[in-house]
Amino acid sequence: MLSQLTSASFAEIHLDALEENLLQVRAQVGDCPILAVVKANAYGHGAVQIAQFLEKSKENISMFGVAFLEEGIALRESGVDTRILVLAGLPIDQIPHYIQHKLTPVIFDLETLSALNREALKTGEKVKVHLKVDTGMGRIGLSPADVLTFFEKALAYEMVSIEGLLTHFAEADLQDLSFAQKQFTSIQEILALLKGKGINVPFCHLANSAAILHFKPAHLNLVRPGLMLYGYSPLQGKTSIQLKPVMQIKARVLALKKVSKGIPLSYGRTFTTSRESVIATIGIGYADGYPFSLSNCGQMIAKGKLVPVVGRVCMDMTLLDVTETEGLSVGDFVTVIGAENGKTIWADALALKANTHTYEILCGIGDRVQRRYLKG
């Protein structure tokens, strides 16, 4: 592993900021248990390191949430002992691995439930599961009308118990919460129906970051913060909650070149210099997660000055016009995401320019961008 000083690009992951964001979650939800979402490599921040840090937090993370089996195994193999909920469903052929690594699956069909019970009988270990209900997202999940029947049939399986019920908001990030309220009402009706049949579900959860921030009734008895842990609000418009971005990214100046007026740059020659210019070649490109859509419209910070991306973003490199930047040398680092000398480019601003959303910017940061974890 190369050091920060020799790599083409690196990310600083500020664990103090992560800790402060977690405190903001706790302030919003009170004593409600927290499931920290660390899927997609903890939104690009490094799932193993983030989970290991959060596991030691005094704020008491009750569970971690990942999307797929391999993500859960990676956490277990790194020594993470906290409960891990695998959110994207349970392929039947993966059942032995779930039991071996003590992962809690999300399920939504009786065939999987039966297969899980058969495997648990072989091992002698009872398995807890969470049942996913589709209340309006249209992806995975059982129809609300089928939930009671599912629970009643599940009682026949001695080695499997349903300890959780969950759904996924489609529009909790909007100012208009009418559809979110419809989904929430659907869950409330299911809970009332189950209670009427004497069925108790220890955990019911649907509150993502957006619902944590502005839909308090939906907190119930487990919340699932994701994006807000990493320092960004998913809400449309501003929020009064002070979140701190956890990741800053810097990339190396590989070359500096003086070019004359009228010189075309990069693939497709989409940019032509309008003056004598100094062009810096930076060691980050779309293979590292810097969006191609920022060609000719992105910005980075060089020596405390916002400078424009010129020409098309390449796979491994990006060009900047640094004509008016003083003191920049080959080997220096520019700020791709972060703050420098009062200037800022955070992932949400980058996403706006790239016509995408913050999640895609963060999750897209590639493995070549080395992560460096800072505390204190």
DSSP character at residue 207? B
pLDDT at 4: 54
Q: Which of 230, 258, 290 is the last residue of a domain?
A: 230
CB atoms within 10 A of CB 323: 15
Total of domains in the chain: 2
Residues of the domain holding 359: 247-374
DSSP strand pairing (34-37 vs 61-66):
parallel
Q: Are 219 and 293 within one domain? A: no
pLDDT at 240: 76
DSSP strand pairing (247-259 vs 9-14):
antiparallel
Question: What mean pLDDT value characterizes the chain?
Answer: 96
Transcribe 351-373 into DSSP letters: HHHHTS-HHHHHHT--TTSEEEE
Q: Cα(206)–Cα(215) distance, rounded to whole angstroms?
A: 11
DSSP character at residue 49? H
User: E-assigned strands of 110-219?
Assistant: 127-132, 160-166, 203-205
Q: Are 286 and 181 within one domain? A: no
Indicate if 267 belongs to the active site: yes
pTM: 0.95
Q: Using a pLDDT cut of 90, give the percent of the chain over it.
A: 95
Q: Are 66 and 196 within one domain? A: yes
pLDDT exceeds 90 at position 216: yes
Name the active-site residue from 39, 43, 286, 290. Answer: 39
Is residue 368 domain-resident? yes
Q: Cα(164)–Cα(284) distance, rounded to whole angstroms?
A: 43
Name the active-site residue from 244, 267, 303, 305. Answer: 267
Confidence of residue 58 (pLDDT cuts 50, 70, 90): confident
pLDDT exceeds 80 at position 6: no
Structure tokens at 346: 């955070």
Is residue 96 domain-resident? yes
Q: Are 196 and 272 within one domain? A: no
Least confident span in 157-166, 230-239, 282-291: 230-239
pLDDT at 334: 98
Q: Cα(68)–Cα(61) distance, rounded to whole angstroms?
A: 20
Is residue 25 domain-resident? no
* Closest C-alpha among 34, 17, 37 to residue 25: 34
Indicate if 56 belongs to the active site: no
pLDDT at 266: 98
Helix (H, G, I), strand (E, B) or coil at 206: coil
Q: Which of 198, 230, 262 is the last residue of a domain?
A: 230
Q: Are 163 and 275 within one domain? A: no
- Position 56: which residue type? K
Q: What is the mean pLDDT of residues 150-179?
A: 96
Q: Are 52 and 146 within one domain? A: yes
Is residue 14 domain-resident? no
Q: Cα(371)–Cα(46) distance, rounded to whole angstroms?
A: 7
Is residue 16 domain-resident? no
What are the distances in angstroms from CA 300 to CA 23, 255, 271, 344? 31, 16, 17, 9
Transcribe 225-269 into DSSP letters: --GGGGT---SSS--SS-----EEEEEEEEEEEEE-TT-EESGGG
The domain that holds 108 is classified in CATH as 3.20.20.10
Helix (H, G, I), strand (E, B) or coil at 20: helix
* Closest C-alpha among 197, 127, 114 to residue 156: 114
The domain that holds 291 is classified in CATH as 2.40.37.10
What are the distances in angstroms from CA 110 to CA 74, 78, 95? 28, 32, 14
Helix (H, G, I), strand (E, B) or coil at 321: strand
Is residue 118 domain-resident? yes
Q: What is the mean pLDDT of residues 141-152?
A: 97
Q: Are 198 and 298 within one domain? A: no
pLDDT at 2: 52
Is residue 8 domain-resident? no
